[in-house]
Amino acid sequence: MAVQRYQVDLDEMDLALRQLYNIIRRLENAESKARHETGLVRESLGTGFDEVYEFYAEQALVKTYMEDVAAQLRASAEELTRKMKWTRDAYEDADS
């Protein structure tokens, strides 16, 4: 059986976990901004000419995509944090 070599400081891992939780909160803020602070009222561009509708439609597509990307980033951060927590607990179990 292969011997696993590693070096770890659980206190440092705890600190990193706290930082990852802060990152998740920051990403939640960003996600909220993408959804609620980037809206464009179509009439603010003008009305009655094709260019308005085409521009509005393109930005709406990009906005929807970015909202989804922001949600994905937050989910990825949560996944990274979960894995880190699991690893940290595994180290602790191995030590005890």
Partner 1 sequence: MAEKEYDYLPPGQRYASRHSTAFAARSLPQMKAMVVHADPEQVRTAGHGWDAFRADLVGGEDGGVLGMLDAAVARLMQSWQGDAAEAFLGEAERFRDRIADTAEYARYISVALRGAANALQEYKTHVDAMTPADDTPVSRARTGEDRASGVNAEDLLNADRGRLSAAEQRALEAAVVMEQLGAAYNSQGSAMGSWSRESLTAPSCPGAPGGIAPLAEVRPIPYSVSPRLAASPPRPRAAEPPIRTGAGGVVEGLKASTDAASATGRRGDAVPGVTGGVLRQDSAHGRDRTGSNAVLGAAVPIPAPGPAASQGGSGLHRGRGR
Applying CB under 8 A, the residues found at the interface with partner 1 are 4-9, 12-13, 15-16, 19-20, 22-23, 26-27, 29-30, 33-34, 37-41, 43-52, 54-55, 57-59, 61-63, 65-66, 68-70, 72-73, 76-77, 80, 83-84, 87
The least distance separating partner 1 from the CB of residue 22, rounded to whole angstroms, comes to 6
* CB nearer to partner 1: pick between 49 and 96: 49
* CB nearer to partner 1: pick between 3 and 96: 3
Tokens 């030590």 locate to 95
Residues 73, 27 contacting (CB under 8 angstroms): yes
Residues in the chain: 96
* CB nearer to partner 1: pick between 4 and 96: 4
Q: What is the CA radius of gyration of the chain?
A: 22
The least distance separating partner 1 from the CB of residue 67, rounded to whole angstroms, comes to 10
Give helix 10-36 / helix 50-95 axis angle, nearest 10°. Answer: 160
Residues 10, 92 contacting (CB under 8 angstroms): yes
